[in-house]
Amino acid sequence: MRIPRAAFGLVKEVARHLLRRPVVGLVAVARDEAGRLLLIRRGDTGEWCLPGGTLEWGETFRELLPRELKEEGGVALLEEGELLGLYSNPGRDPRFHAVTAVVAARVSGIQAPPMNPLEILEVRFFADGEVPSSLSHGMTDVLARALSGARHWE
């Protein structure tokens, strides 16, 4: 019997709560060749968010970045950018204590739908003036700092 991918993800989230350790991950401030920003619309909140995810066992950030961009955004990583911030406030993410690196990236156009349509409802590129004013999971200020050029760590 196969366990659906969404169910497996739910089990992983519950395990993180039980283990009571910070979860390490990454989000991308990803832009296409035209300079538009890639955002994903989450299934749990229905709100837009930066694409990203958590490190798998034995994985590096350099491996995580293209994997999550492909899984969530259906895009290919064309160029890694610089580290824009590091966030560790325990209250930032309502699901768990997340430690999140924020990196810039240049990506291809959308090549495929999200791999988990229960997790990611929609993927879209936004011009700077079109970006929603509020993002899910505490990403509004993360994006504002990144776009302003301010570096942040906590």
22-153 placed in CATH 3.90.79.10:
yes
pLDDT at position 87, please?
93
Q: Write phi, then psi, for 77 (nearest 5 degrees).
A: -75, 125
- Please state, in angstroms and rounded to a whole number, the distance separating the CA atoms of residues 15 and 38: 30
* Distances in whole angstroms, Cα of residue 115 to Cα of each of 70, 73, 92: 8, 9, 26
Confidence category of residue 92, pLDDT binned at 50, 70, 90: confident
Domain boundaries, the chain: 22-153
Q: Is the pTM of this model over 0.75?
A: yes
